[in-house]
Amino acid sequence: MIDTVYIGLGSNLEQPEQQIQQAVDALKLLPSTDFITVSSLYSSKPMGPQDQPDYINAVAAVNTELSAIELLDQLQQIESSFGRVRKDQRWGARVLDLDILLFGNQVINSERLTVPHYGMKVREFVIYPLAEIAEQLTLPDGTKIKQLQATTAENGLFVVGQLN
């Protein structure tokens, strides 16, 4: 079975735009997975401590035959290869963050993975790029991405560029 998956990408350390480009290149090499598209690059304020650089965010779409946990393992392997170290501090600065936002129309609540991503409905840096690449998308709970975008403030979010 093939599922369409949306993956959030974020970085605010070590040339974030390059980190996101290289992460997209890595997504294109995932096994049993076809890369579809990626949104523009968006600049956003950090969610957590404000004494860190602004983030660069994007959302990518892929079709995959991998299970959700297999994909999670692959994404965490990519993060590790970029030097990501998982810390207790949530929302701290990071070289690369890859989050499974949606996995087909599945709802997953396991110890390792929650899909749809638990915070996606309130994060402008997820909603706007997701709406850019999938404007007709409906979440598993019936919410339309365009409705979310219409009711979510931009909070200083702006497009900074495109990927190759």
Residue 75 tokens read as 């994404």
Q: How many CA atoms lie within 13 A of 148 on its CB side?
A: 25
C-alpha 150/C-alpha 37 separation (Å) is: 23
Active site residues: 84, 94, 97, 99
Helices marked H in the chain: 16-27, 68-81, 124-133, 145-150
Name the amino acid, one letter, at 111.
E
C-alpha 88/C-alpha 58 separation (Å) is: 24
Pairing of strands 41-44, 114-115: unpaired
